[in-house]
Amino acid sequence: MLTENIYINGEWIETSDEIASQNPANTQEVVARVSKANRETAQQAIDASVEAQDEWESLTQPERGSYLRDAAEVVEDRFDEITDLVVRELGKTEGSARGEVQRTVDLLNYYAEVARDKGGIAPPSASEQTLTYTKREPWGTAAVITPWNFPIAIPTWKIAPALVAGNTVVFKPASLTPGTGAALVRAFDQADLPAGVLNFVPGSGSEVGDEIVTSDSVDVVSFTGSSEVGEHVYQSATSDGKRIQTEMGGKNPIIVDETADIDHAVQLTIDGAFNGIAGQACTATSRAIVFDEIYEEYLEQLLESVENLTVADPTKSEADLGPKVSQSELDSDIEYIEIGENEGANLAVGGDQLTDGEYENGFFVEPTVFTDVEPDMRIAQEEIFGPVLAVLSVSGFDEAVSVANGVDYGLTASLCTNDLSRTQRFTRDIETGVVKVNQTSTGVGMQMPFGGRKKSSSETFKEQGRQALDFYSHEKAVYVTHREG
């Protein structure tokens, strides 16, 4: 079992209260015990961040980036240990967890390189005596609040650009995965990041989250989580003029037209809806929108493939998907399965909680597919955040796009097609921030901007890519005229 503390001003501090995370595949196992912050310690973390910010900003961007590179080396050295922690604290399959830890290493190295070339510009001046240029400067102290489903990668893609830009950070991880959050902070600590530059305050959203979002000493807030909590964070942060970035839910479609390779389309659907993390991703495929001409053939292959998926303890090599992360998340899935049946959709595969044998002490549910789904049904409209897929049939491309757009979310969307003209129309007409063609709805490149539309995002600033630094910094326009004599 891992034991960790909060981290303030370069010191690991034990508190009187703790958060205990459990293995969702075996709830009798406590994975980590982490000291719990409160309002007082959260304010101490903010104070430490503010105190450290001027000196941190005084370093050059490449100097700040060097700490990220050193932290990446620490994560690489502890790769297997951190992977095992992600598997046991969250319930991801080992392959998925290894991919997340590798992405963490890659993100740290990527932003270390971005630190060398992302800066201001020097446009031509109208006068030979005047030098004109822009410079980027940090906002100050950033509050970073992250979810449990990518417990090390998402914190990294927020913290890394924030630090490179010259901000200090107060980091609140999800309470379900505090041990993994602590592992990331340990990497920065072992990289000798200056005291106060990164502070770690695991605790409740109502107490610690509220304190760091509403503090007058915090300048920017970056949040990833549910739409409900995200709306509250957005309102709290913007009420006093903070710079705010929220990434929230999705109801992501995959459209399969009559020209698509059906084998490929089915595999993309399976990968996006079920594999690795049991549908617990904001980019997970939640709806399959299929042309009438190939609906039956697609459905036959899809259902056979889903029936062959293996639900198991994620430490086992045969596991295609593991458990839900908690009892409340499992209960939510079961509730939505009941809603789908009551609405008149056909429960074609799955639908049951798994409770016998190896499943006895875990939060397991069968991968589930509904057919005969109408676009206005709740299972086709609301984010479920689990291994539950709604399959809808459409008469053609225009109807497919209309159905895809007919939800409150707009994060990702995928089209399976061999028709190039449809590709162009799809990228133009789909109302999402991320558009995929012949790819799964999940997975994004770290060099590309990431963010959604509608209720999926505050639609202000993108994450990842070089664009992330646009959120964590502001630009000054500078005019310098040389006067002789």
State the DSSP H helix or E strand holding residue 238, giving kind and residue range, or none if neither.
Answer: helix 227-238
Mean residue pLDDT of the chain comes to 95
DSSP secondary structure letter of residue 371: E
Mean pLDDT along residues 325-346: 98
* pLDDT at 460 exceeding the cut of 80: no
* CA–CA distances in Å: residue 309 to residues 154, 278, 365: 27, 11, 12
Q: Please name the residues in contact with 213: beta carbons below 8 A apart, sequence gap of 6 or more.
A: 143, 145, 221, 233, 236, 237, 242
* pLDDT at 485 exceeding the cut of 60: no
- Which member of 193, 248, 282, 369 is catalytic? 282
pLDDT value at residue 450: 84
**Helix/strand/coil for 152:** coil
Q: Which fold has domain 252-437?
A: Aldehyde Dehydrogenase; Chain A, domain 2 (3.40.309)
pLDDT confidence bin for 150, thresholds 50/70/90: very high
First vs last Cα of the chain: how many Å apart? Answer: 72
Q: Which residues of 122-144 are buried (b: 16+ CB within 10 A; e: fewer)?
A: eeeeeeeeeebeeebebbbbbbb
pLDDT in tens, 375-410: 999 999 999 999 999 999 999 999 999 999 999 999
Is 416 marked active-site? no
pLDDT in tens, 94-126: 999 999 999 999 999 999 999 988 777 788 887
pLDDT value at residue 120: 79
Segment among 127-131, 225-229, 244-248, 474-478 with least mean pLDDT: 127-131
DSSP secondary structure letter of residue 357: G
pLDDT confidence bin for 457, thresholds 50/70/90: confident
Residue 380: strand pairing partners:
none
Instruction: For domain 2-248+457-478, say whether CATH 2.40.340.10 is its number.
Output: no
pLDDT value at residue 459: 67
Task: Please answer whether residues 447 and 433 qualify as being in contact, where contact means their C-beta atoms are separated by less than 8 angstroms.
Answer: no
> pTM for this one?
0.95
pLDDT value at residue 122: 82
Tokens coding 480:
């310098």
Domain assignments of the chain as residue spans, ordered by start: 2-248+457-478, 252-437
